[in-house]
Amino acid sequence: MIQSLANPTWICVDSGAGESVCPVEAFPDFQTHVTDKNGKKYRAAGGQELENVGEKRPRFKINGVPTMMRFQATTHVKKPLAAASRITQKGNRIILDDADSLSYIENKATGIRIPLKIENGIYVMEVAIDSKKVESNDAVPFRRPAN
């Protein structure tokens, strides 16, 4: 699986990540937002220290469905990782199965499913980056349902 670091076509779903993170140079068409997490330090699975330099909010389509995710732009990260815990906090469930079965992220309110596949032993979702530079919260399915 070879992809551009700046505009990836695959995003790994990481059940061990506490935050969704991406390399600082990922998603260059989208600005890096200052948040209260700037400067926060994280520890990678391999022990490396990562520093938060801001938040990226790329828009993309997954299986034709427009969506947006928030990634903490950090140092020393090689690829975008979508934290499973953050995805489920937004009202979604994640079903992981073997390579011969269906794996997906499903929005509990809408029933919209995002297919996942296994690449090199890792669950990934295929994305098409939307470089229109329009950043809003109206995209589905990763948004928190209204109460």
For residue 9, what pLDDT is reported? 85
Other residues' Cβ atoms within 10 Å of the Cβ of residue 61: 14
For residue 42, what pLDDT is reported? 87
For residue 43, what pLDDT is reported? 85
Which ranges of the chain have pLDDT less than 70?
1-7, 132-147
For residue 144, what pLDDT is reported? 47
pTM for the predicted model, two decimal places:
0.80
For residue 146, what pLDDT is reported? 44
For residue 78, what pLDDT is reported? 87
Extended strands (E) in the chain: 10-14, 21-23, 32-33, 41-43, 49-56, 59-62, 65-68, 71-74, 81-83, 92-95, 103-107, 113-119, 122-126, 128-130
For residue 64, what pLDDT is reported? 83
Structure tokens at 62: 């997954």
- Top CATH class of 10-130 equals mainly beta
Which residues, at least 6 apart from 65, have a Cβ–Cβ distance to it below 8 Å?
112, 114, 140, 141
For residue 5, what pLDDT is reported? 54
For residue 3, what pLDDT is reported? 53
For residue 65, what pLDDT is reported? 81
